[in-house]
Amino acid sequence: MYAGPDVTVDVECDNELIGAFIDRFGRDIPVTRISASRCRTTVRVSASRQFLGWIIGLGPGVRITGPDSVVEDMRREIAALRARYDPAGEAKEALRREAPAVSLNARESDEGKRS
C-alpha cells in the first residue's frame, strides 16, 4: 500500500501541526523552531502517494522542503488533483506540459470506456 522509496524528508509546519508528526513518527523526531509560529522536522518515510496525500490533508500549514525530488512529486500530485477538479480544464492543460508522478492517462482512458 505504501509503495515508494524510503527517503528522509524535510518538512516545515505551523507549530500547532507538529503533534500530527509526533503522533505518526514518534517522539524522537527532531523538531527545530524556525520562527514564533513555525517549526521544522525531518522524517524517514516511504515517498508514496499515500504520504503526499497525508501531507495534503494537513492543509496549507505544512510544506515539504526537501529533497527536491519529493517536492517535485508533491507539485505533480497537486497538479493532478487540480486537473481532476478543474471544470475549466486549465489545470489539465498545465498537467500535460509536465511529466506526471503517476500515469493518469490509463485511468482517464478507462473512465472514457465506462462512459
Does 99 fall in a domain? yes
- Burial grade of 26 (CB within 10 A; 0-12, 13-18, 19 or more): exposed
Does 62 fall in a domain? yes
Does 1 fall in a domain? no
Please, what's the largest Cα pairwise distance for the chain?
53
pLDDT, position 2: 62
d(CA 45, CA 35): 25
**Which parts of 1-114 fold into alpha helices (H)?**
18-25, 49-58, 68-85, 90-96, 105-114
Does 41 fall in a domain? yes
Q: Write out the residue range of the structural domain in which residue 107 sits.
A: 6-114
pLDDT, position 90: 65
pLDDT < 70 stretches in the chain: 1-2, 89-115
